[in-house]
Amino acid sequence: MPFSGLLSHSLHYPLNTRNTISATYTYVAKATSYHVTLTMKLLTGLLV
Q: What is the C-alpha separation between 18 and 26, in angstroms, rounded? A: 12
Residue 1: band (very low, low, confident or very high) from pLDDT cuts 50, 70, 90: very low
Tell me the pLDDT band of 48, cut-offs 50, 70 and 90.
Answer: low
- pLDDT 10s digits, 11-36: 555 667 878 888 889 999 999 999 99
- Contacts by residues 44-47 (CB-CB < 8 Å, ≥ 24 positions apart): none
Q: How far is 42 from 36, CA to CA, in rounded Å?
A: 10
Domain boundaries, the chain: 3-47
Query: Would the pLDDT of 3 be above 80?
Result: no
Residue 17 confidence (pLDDT): 80
Gap between the Cα atoms of 38 and 15, Å rounded: 36
> Which one has a higher pLDDT value, 10 or 18?
18
